[in-house]
Structure 1
């Protein structure tokens, strides 16, 4: 499997089958092997004998994506039916403190009673010999009867390249940031397929523009002057090349360039119709001017512009500070400044600016600014501003996500930054008018029929894919998908050390409808009649696993009596190196019908989602189960904590965090809302049957816009 085939499978669900004959004696076993890995084909009749052999590497790749990093085994035999007879964590801690007073053991060793034959199922270092025997025994057990299918399509090589070229164009032109793994794949594709089909003018999102210019700089540098790159594009390129901040909020370092490289930069500036933008960031360009040696090149526009730049004393480099200073003394002037120089900031700050408007003149100025600058505000920003205004401060806590996936909950009283009713209506009308005009400009749909899959009102429009997990399923945080009808949801974490001893702990917290903690299962409490823990391993030299089963029928029945509404898995880093420093670290969940000791404890074909654990934080929260609605709500965040992170110490922070993520649906745009906006503004007709539709919105192979592969949607509709 080469790079194109791997990317085609990961991003588009495509499998290349070489041209040739199809022999049932070959194709039937091939299809069966893929089925064992949870893969089925939308067009199995297209399979050829040429796929035999190469299929092994693909199946290994699929299994790895589903978290299969070896033969998994539970710590105690008999999981999940039989818990250890005695495992009182509080008593264990008391005894550990006694041991610390009488010996030199450190805390982890003091908690380890395995050499006394005590508590052999929990809080012990891995027994390598026993683990290996258990893994061999697991391999002899039957699989689960359930399969969580991944549906893919067989194609020939030319179609793969054509589809990947389209996907690459959609990624670059999408109106959202891209994950690091997607960015890496785009680099591979540009290198192998070229970038001739990408119109730089269509690449609007600044991080995506920077990535494209970075790739062109590496692969086709002389092309840069013909791309329409602006001075700001060059600054962001320099920031990317030197590991700086591409938002240009911080000073950047000018890279060391050859004379030929400097000629490319000068020629790009000379060709730009935005050369005057250098005055907006005077400080940065003056710093760069010393390394460019403009006078060495025949570039009269650049030479004259930089001469004037050196003479002027007005500094345009710190727009945020100028904006804040202006806002402190003159609200209307600040609004006009933002509309003229930073319309995106105007949209992102709209609710704050609206709440600070004190009189009719200031309010009218803000409404007028939105109407006048609306065509220069990114459509996704306008839609987000509309959702924020519609909520009007009712939903708290909220959460802000960092570029590294970290989360910061924001706690305020309901009504914070609320906007008066009439003023809010005027702002919403201005936004709606602008949005309608922007959508209409994308083309007429008057002859189209559109079907929108039920449930898309539960999926939020992706707006920050940069830090989302590299899972089998990618949706925006706060989105919901049905959990299905499985008897058991089995959570898992797998990790392997890279030298230093490491202890990860899988836990699950039960919350009531107000997001208050009502119960938990973890290494300190292995079971509660609904959830069952497989036991706590405190080292993983050759790879270790922990499992936690949730009996769904009991969770709904008994949980209702106990006041449960949500179940929240958490992976704590109790001790040892960060997630990213481990040799392997995966988590996810399976949907099982036969979750007993008579079946394999881990079956990749039952994995609903899996993703690597990354980052330097103390714990990860992948999702929550909503027992009332029968849905998985995607949380996908990392948080910090004091050392020895655990439920008892960090449970309240977990509850606050998931409450904030669950509330995002009231302050964000859903995919259904975006689809309906295009239907109504562009004159299409809604239908209730996908077979009657010319345009379909849904989840899965064959839809015009697949919400689970949002690149095309983000490129075409925003």
Structure 2
């Protein structure tokens, strides 16, 4: 399968069909084979006989994308209808320990866990029997498939159209206003090598991570062209950080990469051509460190030589902006706000909620003006005149109004959502670059501001955001359809660390379960020399996020939820499954106070997720969940993703039984070895409550669409057939909410 064809399928839902004719004897079986893995075509009439043969690689790719590398089989042949009559794990382990006394080898332990002589076999919590596993997989191949299909709808195109669409997608990714996942970045690297980056306007690439990626690709492919790109000194520092494995946020020292004289000439020429050369003084310490390896005196670059000479003489203020801002904020709020508006409007937007809360606090200078004891030299502005809360508020409103056009739109919208919530929603959660999470617990009302001031701030932010949106172009001649339910999908702002699954949505977003009868969760792993035990579990929480029940290897069933049994090793690749009967779960939920069901994948022991030969998880939506049907059917997979990183457990999503929705959690959490639901349930409950609450503090895709309709003068319609612009969750939509690159590039 060609790399461009794979990227076209994964990112755009496109399948290349060679030129030629189509005969029913060939096309009908082809369509049937694709249907078996849940793929259907929006334009089946475009299929040609030339797709026969190449389709096998594509079908293998689809299976892998949906989480299947080999046939899967459960530990219990009777799953989910029939489980062992007795499976008290703790009691079984105690008896096994007694049995194994004196012969502590692996084989003896496996035999000690075999209780078939007293009717306990097959018992869970055992190492994998590879011969039996292979026989079970062969038996699975003989069973019928599920009647339900979670369709992937794709479109047949020619090779030329594929390249055109991929170029447009690449431009959209680079100009996106959010970070990109690592797998997307890798695909962009492939496209840059194959198609070039000539169609990307460097000035349109605003998000710093995406600029750094673009310059890194250009450095690898055509570095002499770098001076013509308009790269800034900060762009170069981030490029150096990327090339040396550093942090592109530039909050840490940047190592200068080992460069040839020709490479150094490219860097110096880029600085010489930059109209932002003076920015080197903003990062003086970093540039002085770089200067030692750059040797600017070797090159004919008069602007650079003169600027670096002044840089060495410390003729300009070399303190960092954050430090200057925080020092000034402690003494003179109004001066600090003015400084942020002038030099760092993005910081003004990101810190708006904190600054708003500080308007009621008195600075040392204000204490001095009021006769207090803590006067400071830096507080000159406040001496002799007390700066009132009203004056601070007016200054902050004026700063937002004056700097509004320079605050990134995504920052404005995020600030608005935070202000609107006004400290009501806690706990909250912050996500790291690796998908790790940090819950933030504060009392309700933390950093809240009075209602009248909140209304003033919201009006200022709205005016600034609407002005930026209106400047993107007039829509007065357009009719717009916004698909119902997009208020449940949050606007992505950090796709970098989201799971590499079939769909790409922001954490806290919701998608409907639909009419499926059973949600079947699964985890698959194959170890590579290190015995590894992954455990699939599910926790039941009530509406207040209290743990009320669980199913795991220590409790294989509680009625609506059924576990397939625990395997403690996977030399041949092992699987665990957990069924949730959705109708029964809703009924039991009313009786037992269940509201949320939270799957968790624990790394109980062994290698980290990313050190395993294979590690994936996901969920199917099924109608035929019985031992008479295949335990795994790729056509029923709603989402599947690779397990990555070195954390102890993963929380992919939760089922909201009351709303019939799946909410994306998608976090990895550290923990102790041999973690289980009994010990981590409270922490998981706190974490998912914070993710559920993100809806109150984030912008939805519906919010963004409606704002564009209003600010750009479009007419909203309720029939997509009457619309010239559509927002939805299908490839027919102008802006596809589940493939958000275009939306993020054009609307933010």
User: TM class, shorter-chain normalised?
Assistant: over 0.9
Q: How many residues align?
A: 717
Q: Distance in 1 between matches of 2:341 and 2:685?
A: 39
1:114 and 2:113 are equivalent in the alignment: yes
1:78 and 2:114 are equivalent in the alignment: no
User: Contact 2:99 / 2:112 at 8 angstroms: preserved in 1?
Assistant: no
Residue equivalent to 1:634? 664
Secondary structure (helix, strand or coil) at the match of 1:466 reads helix
Q: Distance in 2 between matches of 1:595 and 1:121?
A: 22
Distance 1:383 1:132, change over 3 A: same
Q: Aligned runs of 1:676-687 on 2, under 5 Å?
A: 676-687=706-717
Q: In the TM superposition, what is the alpha-carbon distance from 1:365 to its structure 2 partner?
A: 1.5
Residue equivalent to 1:312? 314
Residue equivalent to 1:545? 575
Residue equivalent to 2:130? 128
Q: In the TM superposition, what is the alpha-carbon distance from 1:471 to its structure 2 partner?
A: 0.4
Secondary structure (helix, strand or coil) at the match of 2:618 reads strand
Q: Name stretches of at least 5 consecutive residues in structure 1 with no aligned partner.
A: none
Q: Aligned runs of 1:140-289 on 2, under 5 Å?
A: 140-289=142-291
Q: Aligned runs of 1:497-536 on 2, under 5 Å?
A: 497-536=527-566
Residue equivalent to 2:376? none
Distance 1:425 1:111, change over 3 A: farther
Q: Please, which of 637, 643, 646 is the counterpart of residue 613 of structure 1?
A: 643
Post-superposition CA distance 1:270-302 (Å, at most 9, x none): 111100000100011111111111111111111
Q: Aligned runs of 1:193-592 on 2, under 5 Å?
A: 193-312=195-314, 314-358=316-360, 359-592=389-622
Q: In the TM superposition, what is the alpha-carbon distance from 1:314 to its structure 2 partner?
A: 4.9
Q: Distance in 2 between matches of 1:95 and 1:319?
A: 66
Residue equivalent to 2:64? 64
Which has the larger displacement, 552-561 or 115-124?
A: 115-124
User: Contact 1:112 / 1:123 at 8 angstroms: preserved in 2?
Assistant: no
Secondary structure (helix, strand or coil) at the match of 1:463 reads coil
Q: Distance in 2 between matches of 1:636 and 1:610?
A: 12
Post-superposition CA distance 1:217-245 (Å, at most 9, x none): 10011111101110100110111111110
Residue equivalent to 1:54? 54
Q: Distance in 2 between matches of 1:271 and 1:6?
A: 39
Q: Distance in 1 between matches of 2:486 and 2:543?
A: 23
User: Contact 1:236 / 1:246 at 8 angstroms: preserved in 2?
Assistant: yes
Distance 1:329 1:109, change over 3 A: farther
Secondary structure (helix, strand or coil) at the match of 2:496 reads coil
User: Contact 2:92 / 2:113 at 8 angstroms: preserved in 1?
Assistant: no
Q: In the TM superposition, what is the alpha-carbon distance from 1:111 to its structure 2 partner?
A: 9.0
Q: Distance in 2 between matches of 1:547 and 1:106?
A: 29
Q: TM-score, normalised by structure 2?
A: 0.94
Residue equivalent to 1:671? 701
Q: In the TM superposition, what is the alpha-carbon distance from 1:97 to its structure 2 partner?
A: 6.3
Q: Distance in 2 between matches of 1:317 and 1:188?
A: 40
Q: Distance in 1 between matches of 2:99 and 2:256?
A: 59
Q: Distance in 2 between matches of 1:127 and 1:54?
A: 36
Q: In the TM superposition, what is the alpha-carbon distance from 1:334 to its structure 2 partner?
A: 2.1
Q: In the TM superposition, what is the alpha-carbon distance from 1:109 to its structure 2 partner?
A: 8.1
Q: Distance in 2 between matches of 1:645 and 1:109?
A: 25
Residue equivalent to 1:30? 30
Q: Name stretches of at least 5 consecutive residues in structure 2 with no aligned partner.
A: 361-388
Which has the larger displacement, 107-116 or 322-331?
A: 107-116
Post-superposition CA distance 1:488-509 (Å, at most 9, x none): 1100000000110000000000
User: Contact 1:96 / 1:107 at 8 angstroms: preserved in 2?
Assistant: no
Q: Distance in 1 between matches of 2:738 and 2:224?
A: 37
User: Contact 2:93 / 2:113 at 8 angstroms: preserved in 1?
Assistant: no
Q: Distance in 2 between matches of 1:317 and 1:402?
A: 27
Which has the larger displacement, 143-152 or 342-351?
A: 342-351
Post-superposition CA distance 1:181-210 (Å, at most 9, x none): 000000110110011110000000000000
Q: In the TM superposition, what is the alpha-carbon distance from 1:349 to its structure 2 partner?
A: 1.0
User: Contact 1:623 / 1:632 at 8 angstroms: preserved in 2?
Assistant: yes
Q: In the TM superposition, what is the alpha-carbon distance from 1:105 to its structure 2 partner?
A: 4.1
Which has the larger displacement, 291-300 or 197-206?
A: 291-300
Post-superposition CA distance 1:444-491 (Å, at most 9, x none): 000000000000000000000000000001110000000111111100
Distance 1:558 1:189, change over 3 A: same
Q: Distance in 1 between matches of 2:476 and 2:162?
A: 32
Q: Distance in 2 between matches of 1:122 and 1:323?
A: 60
Q: In the TM superposition, what is the alpha-carbon distance from 1:251 to its structure 2 partner?
A: 0.6
Q: Distance in 2 between matches of 1:394 and 1:103?
A: 60
Q: Please, which of 720, 734, 743 is the counterpart of residue 690 of structure 1?
A: 720
User: Contact 1:17 / 1:47 at 8 angstroms: preserved in 2?
Assistant: yes
Q: In the TM superposition, what is the alpha-carbon distance from 1:356 to its structure 2 partner?
A: 1.2
Q: Distance in 1 between matches of 2:247 and 2:75?
A: 45
Q: Distance in 1 between matches of 2:685 and 2:592?
A: 17
Secondary structure (helix, strand or coil) at the match of 1:276 reads helix
Q: Distance in 2 between matches of 1:364 and 1:165?
A: 47
Which has the larger displacement, 513-522 or 372-381?
A: 372-381
Distance 1:112 1:450, change over 3 A: farther
Q: In the TM superposition, what is the alpha-carbon distance from 1:95 to its structure 2 partner?
A: 3.8
User: Contact 1:283 / 1:315 at 8 angstroms: preserved in 2?
Assistant: no
User: Contact 1:111 / 1:123 at 8 angstroms: preserved in 2?
Assistant: no
User: Contact 1:461 / 1:671 at 8 angstroms: preserved in 2?
Assistant: yes
Secondary structure (helix, strand or coil) at the match of 2:497 reads coil
Q: Distance in 2 between matches of 1:576 and 1:329?
A: 54
Q: In the TM superposition, what is the alpha-carbon distance from 1:685 to its structure 2 partner?
A: 0.3
Q: Distance in 2 between matches of 1:147 and 1:645?
A: 35
User: Contact 2:480 / 2:717 at 8 angstroms: preserved in 1?
Assistant: yes
Q: Distance in 2 between matches of 1:426 and 1:106?
A: 72
User: Contact 1:112 / 1:124 at 8 angstroms: preserved in 2?
Assistant: no
Q: In the TM superposition, what is the alpha-carbon distance from 1:116 to its structure 2 partner?
A: 4.6
Q: In the TM superposition, what is the alpha-carbon distance from 1:108 to its structure 2 partner?
A: 12
Residue equivalent to 1:710? 740
Q: In the TM superposition, what is the alpha-carbon distance from 1:114 to its structure 2 partner?
A: 2.6
Q: TM-score, normalised by structure 1?
A: 0.98
